[in-house]
Each structure stands twice: as structure tokens, then as C-alpha cells.
Amino acid sequence: MRTATFRTVRSGYDPDQVRQVLNIAADALAGRMRFNPDHVRTAVFKVVPNGYDQKEVDDLLALLEYQLRNGIVPPTGLENGEKLLAVKLPRASNGYDRGEVDAFLARAAANLDGRGAMTANEVRNSRFSTTSGLLNRGYQVQAVDALLDDIEQELRFRGR
């Protein structure tokens, strides 16, 4: 949900407002919070220049409302460990420690392949040290967090 993309059009929905709703929805799909499906249906966005295509956003919100209303946790596309390990995380000078993240992702990949007992709650409660300074020694925090959301959602889809 956090990584959904939309075409930018001359006059469309305010991207910041759309992202805010999608971030809340991602937390709801991952089981971190409750989000009433009616809030999705009644979401109203300002129309701004260079905004998101209204039809694309409305179509995704209709699907999201259906999933929330029916308790459906969709799969994420992380079908196996190979697909997880193929994700390229952007580096950053201030970010999560690469060694810790890589070790966690290796465990998660093994779990997606049926080796291990990692749960969605374990993913939700994972914490990483941060790096600071030069040389891009860390992974971009937002990118790692979005990937963790996907892993957590995939494990919930699998009943873990």
C-alpha cells in the first residue's frame, strides 16, 4: 500500500493527502491498527495541480475498502525468499544498519521458504540500529520500513 504509484495529471488528488490515507491503510492491513472501511469510502482529497490521477486512486481505494470490510489480507508478491532477497534497498548516510537489516532479511527469506517460525508480530517489533555520517553505510529508513510492512503482511496472509 505504501508503495502504490499513480500517474500525475494536470489536476488531481493531493499526493500528500492520498499518501496519508494509504499509510494508515497499510498499517491496518498489517494488523497494527483498526481502520473502518467507511473511512476509506468517505475519504475526500483536495484537487491540486500535478496531483494523482483521480480514477486510479479511486479504484485502489475501492479495492482497499473491500479488503478491509471483508477481512482480506492480500498477498504481497513476496512469494519466496529469493524474491525478498532480490529487493534492492537504497543506501543512505543516515539510515538503518545494513548488517542488521541484511541478517534480518536473510532470516525472513528463510522463513518465506518454510524454514523458520518468524511471525508477523516479530516483524512488527523488529528494531535496527541507525548509522550516521558519510559513505552511505545504512539503508534508507522509509524503504526498509515499507519492505517490513510487506513482509508482515505476507506473514499475516500465510496465517503467521
Same structural domain, 43 and 100? no
Same structural domain, 37 and 93? no
Same structural domain, 125 and 148? yes
Same structural domain, 86 and 36? no
Residue 31 has pLDDT above 70, yes or no: no
Same structural domain, 36 and 86? no
Same structural domain, 97 and 55? no
Same structural domain, 63 and 108? no
Residue 134 has pLDDT above 70, yes or no: no
The pLDDT of residue 34 = 73
Same structural domain, 89 and 152? yes
Range of the domain at 20: 8-69
Exposed / middle / buried, residue 115 (Cβ in 10 Å: 0-12, 13-18, 19+): exposed
- The answer to whether residue 2 sits within a structural domain is no
Residue 77 has pLDDT above 90, yes or no: no
User: Which parts of the chain are beta strand (E)?
Assistant: 8-13, 47-52, 91-92, 95-97, 130-131, 138-139
Question: Domain tally for the chain?
Answer: 2
**Average pLDDT score over the chain:** 86
pLDDT confidence band for 153 (50 / 70 / 90): confident
Same structural domain, 89 and 128? yes
47 in Cβ contact with 12 (< 8 Å):
yes
The pLDDT of residue 136 = 65
- The answer to whether residue 3 sits within a structural domain is no
Q: Which residue has the higher pLDDT, 71 or 96?
A: 96
Tell me the C-alpha distance between 86 and 4, whole Å. 19
What are 9's strand-pairing partners? 51
Tell me the C-alpha distance between 109 and 87, whole Å. 11
Same structural domain, 133 and 65? no
Exposed / middle / buried, residue 82 (Cβ in 10 Å: 0-12, 13-18, 19+): exposed
The pLDDT of residue 2 = 63
Q: Which residue has the higher pLDDT, 22 or 35?
A: 22
87-127 residue pLDDT tens? 999 998 889 999 999 999 999 999 999 898 899 889 988 99
32-61 residue pLDDT tens? 677 778 888 888 999 999 999 999 999 999
Q: What percent of the chain has pLDDT over 90?
A: 38
In which residue are the cell numbers 545504512 written?
A: 138
Tell me the C-alpha distance between 148 and 76, whole Å. 11
Same structural domain, 94 and 59? no
